[in-house]
Amino acid sequence: MKVMKLKKRRNKLLKIIFSRTIVFIILLFVQLAVLFSVCIWMQDYMVYLYGGFTALAFILTLYIINREDNPDYKLAWIIPILVFPVFGGLFYLFIKCQLGSRILNHLITERVKETRPYLKQQKEVMEKLRKEDRYVANLATYMNSSMYYPIYQNTDAKFFSLGEDKFEEMKIQLKKAKKFIFMEYFIVEEGKMWNEVLEILEQKVQEGVEVRFMYDGTCSLFKLPHSYPSTLQKKGIKCKLFAPIKPALSTYQNNRDHRKILVIDGHTAFTGGVNLADEYINAISIYGHWKDTAIMIQGEAVKSFTLMFLQLWDVTEEKPQSANKFIENIDYSFVSNPKGYFMPYCDSPLDNENVGELVYLDLINTAKEYVHIMTPYLILDHEFITALTYAAKRGVEVSIIMPHIPDKKTAFYLAKTYYKELLPSGVKIYEYLPGFIHAKEFIVDGQKAVVGSINLDYRSLYLNFECGVFLYQNDVILDMEKDFQETLRRSLNITMDDHKKLPIHIKLIGSMLRFIAPLM
Helices (H), 297-375: 302-313, 324-327, 355-366
Question: Residue 487: its pLDDT value, please?
Answer: 98
> Phi/psi at 181 (nearest 5 deg)?
-135, 125
* Contacts of residue 476, Cβ cutoff 8 Å, sequence gap at least 6: 157, 158, 159, 295, 449
CA angle, corner 104, sides to 102 and 105, nearest 5? 65
Residue 21's pLDDT band (cuts 50, 70, 90): low
The amino acid present at 505, given as its one-letter code, is H
Spell out the domain ranges in the chain.
2-100, 118-134+148-340, 355-519
Quote the pLDDT of residue 405. 97
Q: Write the DSSP symbol of residue 161.
A: S
| Residue % of the chain over a pLDDT of 70 | 89
How is domain 355-519 classified at the CATH fold level? Answer: Endonuclease; Chain A (3.30.870)
**For the segment 247-277, what is each residue's pLDDT rounded down to a tens digit?**
666 666 778 999 999 999 999 999 999 999 9
Q: E strands within 243-280?
A: 261-264, 268-272
* CA–CA gap between residue 306 and residue 326 (Å, rounded): 7
Which pLDDT belongs to residue 419? 96
One CATH from 3.30.870.10, 1.10.760.10, 3.30.360.10, 3.10.450.50 for 118-134+148-340: 3.30.870.10
For the chain, what is the radius of gyration of the CA atoms? 24
- Number of helices and strands in the chain (H, E): 21, 17
Asked if residue 9 has pLDDT above 80, the reply is: no
* Position 71 confidence tier, pLDDT thresholds 50, 70, 90: confident
CA-to-CA distance for 518 and 263, rounded, in angstroms?
A: 32
Instruction: Starting at the earlier edge strand, list the strands of the sheet with 397-403.
Output: 341-347, 466-472, 448-452, 441-444, 370-374, 397-403, 428-432, 491-494
Which stretch of 53-62, 154-163, 308-317, 429-438 has the lowest confidence by average pLDDT? 53-62
* Average pLDDT for the chain: 89
Predicted pLDDT of residue 42:
61
Cα(361)–Cα(388) distance, rounded to whole angstroms? Answer: 9
Q: 138: number of CA atoms within 13 Å, CB side?
A: 7
Q: What's 176's DSSP letter?
A: T
Average pLDDT, stretch 20-42? 64
189 close to 219: Cβ distance less than 8 angstroms: yes
Q: What percent of the chain has pLDDT over 90?
A: 66
Rounded alpha-carbon distances, angstroms, from residue 474 to 143, 152, 260, 303, 463: 19, 12, 22, 19, 31
- What per-residue confidence (pLDDT) applies to 3? 45
Cβ neighbours of residue 68 closer than 8 Å, sequence gap 6 or more: 352
Average pLDDT rounded to a whole number, residues 387-410:
97
Please name the amino acid found at residue 69.
D
> What does DSSP assign to residue 456?
B
Q: Which is higher by pLDDT, 89 or 455?
A: 455
Q: Which residues on neighbouring strands pair with residue 398, listed in sequence order? A: 371
Contact yes or no for 293/483 (Cβ under 8 A)? yes
Predicted pLDDT at 14: 41
Q: Which pLDDT value is given to residue 6?
A: 47
Can you tell me the distance from the alpha carbon of 172 to that of 166, in angstroms, rounded to the nearest whole number? 10
C-beta separation of 453 from 441 below 8 A: no
- Asked if 448 and 131 touch (Cβ cutoff 8 Å), the reply is no
Q: Which pLDDT score, from 0 to 100, does residue 45 have?
A: 61
pLDDT at 2 over 50: no
Q: Is the pLDDT of residue 24 over 80?
A: no
Q: Is there a common fold for 118-134+148-340 and 355-519?
A: yes
Distance between start and end Cα atoms, the chain: 46
Q: Which of 138, 185, 134, 132 is nearest to 163 (CA)?
A: 185
Residue 450 has pLDDT above 90, yes or no: yes
pLDDT of res. 265: 97
Q: Which of 358, 418, 349 is nearest to 389 (CA)?
A: 418
Residue 31 has pLDDT above 60, yes or no: yes
Q: What is the rounded distance in angstroms from the CA atom of residue 31 to the CA atom of residue 384?
A: 36
For residue range 207-262, list pLDDT tens digits in order.
Answer: 999 999 999 998 887 789 888 999 999 999 999 999 887 766 666 677 899 999 99
Question: Tell me: the pLDDT tens digits for 367-391?
Answer: 999 999 999 999 999 999 999 999 9
Q: What pLDDT is stored for residue 98 in this prediction?
A: 67
Residue 12 has what pLDDT? 47
DSSP-derived pairing of the beta strands 341-347 and 397-403: unpaired
